[in-house]
């Protein structure tokens, strides 16, 4: 086998949690919809959703679904004020893909934006596997 050849291992499409009593552990803003539903079926794709939101966090320098009012345009260090937090909007947004302002990012972000988008698909079966993400990132290096 040449150095350029790789062995392709079969990938299981979805790996389900085998213990029905097990619960998904994760930080709320990064949880996928299936982890927020009472009887949601958790698979390996739940982590892919969280990875997508981590990409979003790096591009926006914000926490997913935390929308604080932006009344003041000064550069002062702001502290959290509960009156700035909209509980209803926050809980309604959990498990969804947050919007991204593409105009604020230059074209060098295109591949990351595409990866964010596919990783945060609502349907877990439409999210890529970790192996597919690695392959996509390695293709970008060539």
Instruction: Residue 56: give its domain's CATH number.
Output: 1.10.510.10
* 56-110 pLDDT tens trace: 999 999 999 987 555 545 555 566 667 777 889 989 999 999 999 888 999 999 9
φ, ψ (nearest 5 deg) of residue 32 = -80, 165
Q: How many domains does the chain have?
A: 1
Backbone dihedral region of 45: left (phi > 0), alpha (psi from -120 to 50 degrees) or beta?
alpha
Q: How many CB atoms lie within 10 A of CB 41?
A: 14
pTM for this entry? 0.76
C-alpha to C-alpha distance for 26 and 90, rounded to whole angstroms: 16
CA distance 140 to 133: 11
Query: 32 is in which domain, residue-wise?
Result: 28-66+84-139
Q: Is residue 21 part of a domain?
A: no
What distance in Å separates the CA atoms of residue 129 and residue 127, rounded to the nearest whole number?
7
Q: Work out the mean pLDDT of the chain and round it to a whole number.
A: 80
Residue 6 maps to a domain: no
CA distance 72 to 81: 13
Does residue 16 lie within any of the structural domains? no
């Amino acid at each position: 086998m040449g150095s350029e050849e790789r062995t392709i291992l079969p990938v299981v499409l979805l790996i389900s949690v085998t213990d029905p009593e097990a619960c998904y552990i994760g930080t709320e803003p990064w949880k996928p919809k299936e982890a927020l539903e009472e009887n949601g079926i958790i698979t390996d794709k739940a982590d892919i959703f969280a990875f997508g939101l981590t990409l979003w966090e790096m591009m926006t320098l914000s926490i997913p679904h935390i929308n604080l009012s932006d009344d003041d345009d000064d550069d002062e260090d702001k502290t959290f004020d509960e009156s700035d937090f909209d509980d209803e909007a926050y809980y309604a947004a959990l498990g969804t893909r947050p919007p991204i302002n593409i105009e604020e990012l230059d074209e060098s972000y295109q591949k990351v934006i595409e990866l964010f988008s596919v990783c945060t698909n609502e349907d877990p079966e439409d999210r890529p596997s970790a192996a597919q993400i690695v392959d996509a990132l390695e293709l970008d290096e060539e």
